[in-house]
Structure 1
């Protein structure tokens, strides 16, 4: 229970450091979610971030204004809002993600091959236990 918060703090700091100026961690989490689940609804993203729909709507509006997210009404279900990343949103998410991976790699470079294998095995086990299933859409 002490390792997860420490790793989370480290990752959050890296993400903040590499994000666009004035792009909040919550906004980056929206971009990450949409990268994994294209054409998600506003409600799905709100549930993922554990915020209210009005809060998510305001956050998405700022991302739309910045050209990072597209927002359209579902042609089948008019009350449903579909969100997708723009090309700029995808590029920004990939840039932040890649830069954060480099930060993690730099932190791990002092480990031996045996230690790296242990870390990899442990993370694979944790991932298989806790990973949320990908929604098919």
Structure 2
């Protein structure tokens, strides 16, 4: 088992504080994670729920599934990984995730209300007469 020598407690605290701050992603990587968030493929949890000053989040990135896996590009090192994201980008990611959920809810509600039979088989009389006269 590997041990880490603790010689300076203040340097250890500084290292821990760096982790608590999280890190910012570059724009392309942020966009890749945002796509996963929009599809609901991120799991986010506060890094330290007991510390009110810690606003960073642990983010688990799940691989895209099904049809999305064919169209959504995700760097290999981001697939099925856990990141520590800073507070600003975490809040943005949570907003993107919420927007994706709301969009899927609207889509499912519209799908539930859609009448496929009448759109496939019903033609109004005036439309049929125009087609016959053409």
Q: Same fold (TM over 0.5)?
A: no
From the two aligned structures, give the one with the greater helix fraction.
1
Of the two, which has the highest radius of gyration?
A: 2
When the two structures are superposed, what TM-score results if normalisation uses the length of structure 2? Answer: 0.29
